[in-house]
Amino acid sequence: MFAWARKAGVVRVARGRVIATKQGLAIARDPAAFFDRSLDAILALGPLASQRDPSGWFAWPEVNEVLDRFVVHLLAAPYAAQGPVPIEDMAEVAAGVVLDAFEFHALGDEEVERRVAGDIVDIMDTLEGAGVVRRTGTRHPDDDPVVSRRRHGGSVELTPAGAAAVHSRLIEAGYDAPRAGRFAEATATELFLGTDLDDFPTLWAEVEAWLGRREPVQAVAELATAVRELQDPALRNLALAAMADMDAEAAVPEVRKLSIEPEIRGFALCWLVDQGHEEPEAQFDPDDVSWFVDVLAYRLVTLGPEGLCDTLALAGGHDDQIRLIDRLWRSSSSATDEVLAAMGEEHPSKTVAKAARKARFKRRGWLAGTG
């Protein structure tokens, strides 16, 4: 604590005496600026190295140094998640960094991972004392079979002040770390079109910030509108996924309205099946297959090619599937080409895969002719 206070400029030493500095006495005038100075001091000292005696038994000061340099990178996870991250996940990442950087001839990987896990706990406890993070769901030392001062387990999340401070340090470290909330006042359609689908943590942080500005009924209605307006199957799925985390009394009636609209019926029915409000058989109607491509697109996005092929089996055996594919290639769905391509590449039956490739070829010729 003394080293931290001295590094942060709160105290100084003169002729063997500890003296409060003018900066230290003026903390209350600009607490935000001092928070940053305090965090810089912790990072400069090393949240871990400052707690360790480099000459102590079984010391590994080089590892401490690597972990201290990696602290900001570890905090990228709770920053991107905009919520709690299991400390075990952070420890696993840190252990991978250590094992890549060093060779341990006297220690097995599991022992290194165990020691690093303890180091990450100590780092996060230091940052919690600095007001940067909050630890929740930890096990009290008395709950452990071996008495320890450490609180193991649980999750780590940034405090509001911590999120602001970490943001600037992530930018300095080369991260693209936009602040969540850029689309808080936008429509749901603008939200999903404006964010990067490949950067899911940031996208979902934006969704959470957007939801935080709306009452559930309003949010559900706007998300339903986005499902209608978005053409990208993946973005439609994300809008529906956001509705899945909301109150069922508000969400289910809106999705049932979507399920009777031909252009989005497939997506809506899949959502209702996944939430337990419809049976799986509801995803396929042999008398009306016009929207079944959207069901297959939904399953391709959410469950991958295997899920798509399993859903195609609702039509029956391989001969039934081939006949169905011959009806699907004229579908107006924007996802048709992608669905046929996935079938052609991934279906375990060579005959069904060949039928899908043939149907895709016919569709391209048909589109060229109609265009």
Asked if residues 4 and 50 have their Cβ atoms less than 8 Å apart, the reply is: yes
Q: Which residues pair with 20 in a beta bridge?
A: 11
Res 177: pLDDT: 66
Res 175: pLDDT: 80
Token look-up 């899945």 returns: 244
What's the start-to-end Cα distance of the chain, in Å? Answer: 73
Edge-to-edge, what's the strand order for the sheet holding 133-136? 85-86, 155-158, 133-136
Report domain 46-172's class. Answer: mainly alpha
Strands 155-158 and 133-136: antiparallel
Res 371: pLDDT: 52
CA distance 267 to 243: 13
Residue 241's nearest CA partner among 280, 214, 203 is 203
Res 184: pLDDT: 79
Res 147: pLDDT: 44
pLDDT tens digits for the chain (371 residues)? 888 888 888 899 999 899 988 888 888 777 777 888 889 999 999 999 888 887 777 778 899 999 999 999 999 888 877 788 999 999 999 999 999 999 888 888 999 999 999 999 999 999 999 999 999 988 766 555 444 567 888 999 998 888 888 888 888 888 876 666 678 788 999 989 987 777 666 677 778 778 878 889 999 999 999 999 998 888 898 899 999 888 889 999 999 999 999 889 999 999 999 999 999 999 999 988 889 999 999 999 888 999 999 999 999 999 999 999 999 998 888 889 999 999 999 999 999 999 999 999 999 888 877 65
Residue 82's nearest CA partner among 174, 159, 152 is 159
pTM, two decimals, is 0.54
Asked if residues 356 and 325 have their Cβ atoms less than 8 Å apart, the reply is: yes
Res 141: pLDDT: 62
Domain(s) of CATH 1.10.10: residues in the chain = 46-172
| 257-262 long-range Cβ contacts below 8 angstroms, 24+ apart | 257/224, 258/224, 258/227, 258/228, 261/228, 262/290, 262/291
Token look-up 């600095």 returns: 130
